[in-house]
Structure 1
Amino acid sequence: MKAITLNSKTLGSLLLTDVQDRPCESGEVKVGIKAAALNHRDEWCRKGLYPNIQDGIVLGSDGAGVVLEVGDSVNLNLVGKEVIINPAINWGDRQEVQSKNFEILGMPRNGTLSEQVIVPADRIKLKPEHLSFEEAAALPLAGLTAYRALFYQGQLKKGDSVLITGFGGGVAQFAFQFALNAGAKVYASSSKENKRDLAKELGAVDVFDYTEDHWTEQALASSGGFDLIIDSAVGDSLNNLIDVAKPGGKIVFYGATKGNPSELTARKIFWNQLKLMGTTMGSDQDFENMVQFVKENKIKPIIDQVFSFQEAIQAFDRMKEGEQMGKIVLTP
């Protein structure tokens, strides 16, 4: 079967090649992939910046398809079902934090950028009927991360003022849509005018260009401050977020693409009773809740572009450039 593997010796460090198939073992299912989506971790793997990098591994964490085969102890009625895959493996028993054995599908075990993938049977959920395979494939990793950031860590409530930074990326677009559907007053920031325009079109109360010197003043004038801020950059911009958080507010970050801040305005944090929280992908319960929330609210992921497996390098390069609006999807 054809699959996109990591190969540091080839142009673009990707290779579309034949990989060996195998039967399901006990407790596993084989899913015929109809669509798979990229995440930034796939690009980090391509660059060699992710732990336990191994050439020859099939990349990809997000996927949707049809169950082709089940192993022993798995319900035969699953065969033929349309499903999405939860890429969070071995989260563990604690809702508060992942276990030491936690891993994400696609490195170090084979992932979804393949015509077929074998996963533990408890990693699949029935595909929401209102979603196409391409839309469903875009949901799992980013949707799960956004859901946990908003509802478990952020304790979002109806009427809260929420700022989603870096609108346009996968997690940010889901956080934006989830917050809107939860009845929050949602604001967004982006350095790209077209992304700010789309956020307004989708229902943002206001939008801000975080590259402008006085964007924090504009944000405070517009919102009065934010109850909750969802961010993936950190770096020195963290102090700007501290400035626009309401007293008692929360800042939840799921990445640190700008690295660590060179200094921190600690006095504002303790005086304003702010909560700074890190978050990752979520637990199995978070995934269950996220899928149900998507179903109930008929939420559809924003798809940037769909590529074929043969166009994998172009798809990865588009992610690297950071120009996408929504999720990049590949189909076999």
Structure 2
Amino acid sequence: MRAIVMGSYGSPSVLQPADVPAPPERAGWVTVRLAASALNWHDVLVRQGRYSSPLPHIPGADGAGVRIDTNEAVVVLPSLFWGRGDAAPGADWEILGDHHSGTYAELVTVPAECAVPRPRGLSLAQAAALPLVGLTTFRALFSRGRLRSGESLLVLGASGGVATTAVALATAAGARAIVTSGATRKIDAARELGAAGGVDHTESDWVEAARALTPRGAGFDLVLDSVGRWAESVRCLAPGGRCVVLGASAGEQATLPVRPFYFGQYELIGTTMGSPRDMAGLLRFLDDHTVAPPVIDRTFPLAQAALAHERLEAGTGIGKIVLTHD
């Protein structure tokens, strides 16, 4: 089969098309013939060697296609071996494309619970773009963040997959979403998805500007921080507010003043992708609500995965980048 293989860690140039053997059959696993796969920042970290993936390796976590044993249209749930508990994943949990061959290929083999029905009304590109960010964001907002209709949400960022998905899901649930960005066009794009407004997070007073957009300037009920700016995120909260953290692209360390934190009755909540039960909850949510589909920035042929990674790292796009497997 055709696939994108990285023979070493490094720049996008390590991603090269190659002919490789089809994945072997395994008891309890199913094979999906992929029509599209989507990029995530996680793929960049895999490519850079952050997860010590075996070499040579096929990266990729997201995909959409057909289950070859049943001919059912499916999307790939990239959360492997989550375990029975929902509070946190078990010790064996990993993301597809870390140590198991991923979705930058014609075929991928996954545990049977990880081939889930493709949601109605989505194109192949939109379906491929949904699982990782959809599941991650659904868990962050609802399973962990307990977002409710009528509450206010601040999303750090405006243009990435998590940010655009958060605005779409929160708006569908009846929450009021505000975003941050350093680019006016990205805030404008978020407004088109349903965001009520946005602030420029490159300005020194952006926290105050964001709080001013909440009722009576009281702050946000929930902040979604996918970059690691904890101190500023907590300052954006209303008394009793929750900050859900799911990334560290802007910082690996954070310092918080302790007294304001406990006097504010704040919650700091960590989260990651999600369980099969979270995925089932996302699919029910999509059935029960009118939700804007995943935003697609651009598509590339599978063979141009390196170019797709260059665009992802440039950070100029809005939404998800998708590889087509025609």
TM interval, short-chain normalised: over 0.9
Distance 1:21 1:318, change over 3 A: same
Which region of structure 1 is more displaced relative to structure 2, 18-27 or 206-215? 18-27
Which region of structure 1 is more displaced relative to structure 2, 285-294 or 200-209? 200-209
**Who is 1:21 aligned against?**
22
State the TM-score, normalized to the length of structure 2. 0.94
The 3-state SS of whatever aligns with 1:268 is helix
**Who is 2:183 aligned against?**
192
Map of 1:70-219 to 2, 5 A cutoff? 79-219=70-210
State the TM-score, normalized to the length of structure 1. 0.93
Which region of structure 1 is more displaced relative to structure 2, 109-118 or 22-31? 22-31
Query: Contact 1:188–1:208 (CA<8 Å) still a contact in 2?
Result: yes
**Who is 1:246 aligned against?**
238
Alignment gaps of 5+ in structure 1: 70-78
Q: Using the TM superposition, give the Cα deviation of residue 159 of structure 1 relative to its aligned residue in structure 2, in angstroms.
A: 0.3
- Structure 1 counterpart of 2:222, from 228, 238, 241: 228
Q: Does 1:280 align with 2:280?
A: no
Q: Distance between the aligned counterparts of 1:189 and 1:264, measured in 2?
A: 21
Q: Using the TM superposition, give the Cα deviation of residue 319 of structure 1 relative to its aligned residue in structure 2, in angstroms.
A: 0.9
Measured on the aligned residues, the alpha-carbon RMSD in Å equals 1.5
The 3-state SS of whatever aligns with 1:222 is coil
Distance 1:182 1:9, change over 3 A: closer
Q: Using the TM superposition, give the Cα deviation of residue 297 of structure 1 relative to its aligned residue in structure 2, in angstroms.
A: 2.5
Alignment gaps of 5+ in structure 2: none
Question: Match for 2:180: what amino acid?
Answer: S
Q: Using the TM superposition, give the Cα deviation of residue 9 of structure 1 relative to its aligned residue in structure 2, in angstroms.
A: 7.5
Matched-pair identity in %: 39
Q: Using the TM superposition, give the Cα deviation of residue 23 of structure 1 relative to its aligned residue in structure 2, in angstroms.
A: 4.7
Query: Contact 1:251–1:276 (CA<8 Å) still a contact in 2?
Result: yes
**Who is 2:308 aligned against?**
315
Q: Does 1:42 align with 2:43?
A: yes
Q: Distance between the aligned counterparts of 1:60 and 1:47, measured in 2?
A: 13
Query: Contact 1:130–1:298 (CA<8 Å) still a contact in 2?
Result: no
Q: Distance between the aligned counterparts of 1:46 and 1:9, measured in 2?
A: 5
Query: Contact 2:77–2:131 (CA<8 Å) still a contact in 1?
Result: yes
Q: Distance between the aligned counterparts of 2:174 and 2:254, measured in 1?
A: 36
Q: Using the TM superposition, give the Cα deviation of residue 130 of structure 1 relative to its aligned residue in structure 2, in angstroms.
A: 0.4
Q: Distance between the aligned counterparts of 2:167 and 2:4, measured in 1?
A: 31
Q: Using the TM superposition, give the Cα deviation of residue 22 of structure 1 relative to its aligned residue in structure 2, in angstroms.
A: 4.4
**Who is 1:72 aligned against?**
none
Question: Match for 2:307: what amino acid?
Answer: Q
Q: Distance between the aligned counterparts of 1:133 and 1:272, measured in 2?
A: 45
**Who is 2:319 aligned against?**
326
Q: Using the TM superposition, give the Cα deviation of residue 132 of structure 1 relative to its aligned residue in structure 2, in angstroms.
A: 1.0
Q: Does 1:256 align with 2:248?
A: yes
Query: Contact 1:62–1:85 (CA<8 Å) still a contact in 2?
Result: yes
Q: Distance between the aligned counterparts of 2:231 and 2:98, measured in 1?
A: 34
